[in-house]
A and B are shown apart, each in its own frame.
Chain A
Amino acid sequence: MKRTVILGALLWTLLITAAHVHLNVGWDRLAAQARVFFGMDREELIVGFLPVT
């Protein structure tokens, strides 16, 4: 019984986390952030501009 509750809670947490990433973060963005975190990629920022001073 205790094992079922723990497994259920874990599965629920995983499901909610996956739904959050899917709906709010995006898998591509998460993957990019993970690559930056593990030092596989450099951090990136897009800066908008108009070609006028």
Chain B
Amino acid sequence: MTKHSDTGSIFRSQKFTDFPTVTEALSAGRIGAAFILAPLAMQLAEAGIPIRIVYLGHRDGTAIVVRKDSDIRDFGDLSGKIVAIPSRFANQNILIHKMMKTWNMPEGSIELREVPPPEHPTALQEGSIDGYIVGEPFAAKAEVDGFGRVLYYTKDIWPEFISCVLVVREDLIDGNREIVQELVEGIAKSGKWLDEEHEHRMDAAEVAGKYYYFQDPELLKFVLSKPVDRVKYTHLAPLKDDFDEIMELAVEMGILRGPIAFEEYVDDSFVKPLDQIDWGIDRLPAAVAADGARAGASR
């Protein structure tokens, strides 16, 4: 499955720091697949970039965060405030507009500012924004560092929220369905494994933090456990109703030029029922080794 296993294809992850660069790499064919924002994927498909959404990255995993000492207690209190969003093409932007409609707040009553996700916590701490909405672990970062407070988790205001989706180039789907199937099944298996046991999530935080995200594993452990349903890795099949709702809101907001049919940008033929797949491993060897090293050092 990966360079750390003995069988299957090798999937190399390439880290990017912003969405325009990852989009450009995908369009140029330098990478075959990527995790990108759901509305951005729709917008690319609308613009004729040959990609398809084949799976979701996760469900929920986003929060609206304000300063711990602020007097903002509900969504209405954000009126007249500055709130950072990760991108105009993020579902987080769509969620804020959806909430404004629910709260009968006129358009423009919240000043939305596009800020790269890693800079959200610092901007809040410095006081250049009053709040932010972003995917983890940057929502938890302000909480863990002691200056931020979660106003809402997406699980409570838009359950089963979709943020990032897995997109694959159409030429890869046409020319090598097997490798796309292997990738989707790998993500499904690891997601099922993650949601099975608390210990699995802790192992994943250790490994992802050290070797992939280059972030503090303790921060990721917080994200994956406090509360445990803060982010979910099952129910990752792309569903028409979910995407139609996002698409309609995106059209209303002018993110998309017009309606786009689900079938034009999604290929869900790689999805298998979760009971038909199993990763077949318990703990992650690298995390177990790290546990052993820590135990040895404390002796």
- At the interface, yes or no: B134 with Cβ under 8 Å from chain A? yes
Assess A43 versus B34: contact at CB under 8 Å? Given A50-B18, A53-B135, A53-B136.
no
For the side of the interface on A, what is the size category? 10 to 19
Assess A43 versus B179: contact at CB under 8 Å? Given A50-B117, A53-B163.
yes
Interface string of A18-53 (1 = CB under 8 A from B): 000000000000000000000000111111111111
Find out whether the CB atom of B15 lies under 8 angstroms from the CB atom of A49.
yes
The interface size of chain B toward A, counting residues with CB under 8 Å, comes to: 47
- At the interface, yes or no: B213 with Cβ under 8 Å from chain A? yes
- At the interface, yes or no: B4 with Cβ under 8 Å from chain A? no
Contact of A53 among B25, B30, B58 (CB under 8 A): B58
* Extra pairs beyond A45-B10, A50-B18 (5, CB < 8 Å): A42-B9, A42-B10, A47-B31, A49-B34, A50-B19
Question: A49 to chain B: closest CB distance in Å?
Answer: 5
Could you say which residues of chain A place their CB within 8 Å of the CB of B134? 52
Find out whether the CB atom of B16 lies under 8 angstroms from the CB atom of A47.
no
| Total inter-chain residue pairs, C-beta < 8 Å | 93
Question: A28 to chain B: closest CB distance in Å?
Answer: 14
Interface set, chain B 150-177, CB cutoff 8 A to A: 163-164, 166, 172, 176
Can you name 27 A-B residue pairings with CB atoms under 8 Å? A42-B10, A44-B11, A45-B10, A45-B11, A45-B32, A45-B172, A46-B13, A46-B14, A46-B31, A46-B32, A47-B14, A47-B31, A47-B33, A47-B183, A48-B22, A48-B25, A49-B15, A49-B22, A49-B34, A49-B35, A50-B15, A50-B19, A50-B35, A52-B118, A53-B57, A53-B135, A53-B223
Find out whether the CB atom of A53 lies under 8 angstroms from the CB atom of B62.
yes
Nearest chain A residue, comparing its CB with the CB of B164: A53
- At the interface, yes or no: B12 with Cβ under 8 Å from chain A? yes
Could you say which residues of chain A place their CB within 8 Å of the CB of B86? 52
Given the complex of chains A and B, what is the CA–CA distance between A43 and B7 in angstroms? 10
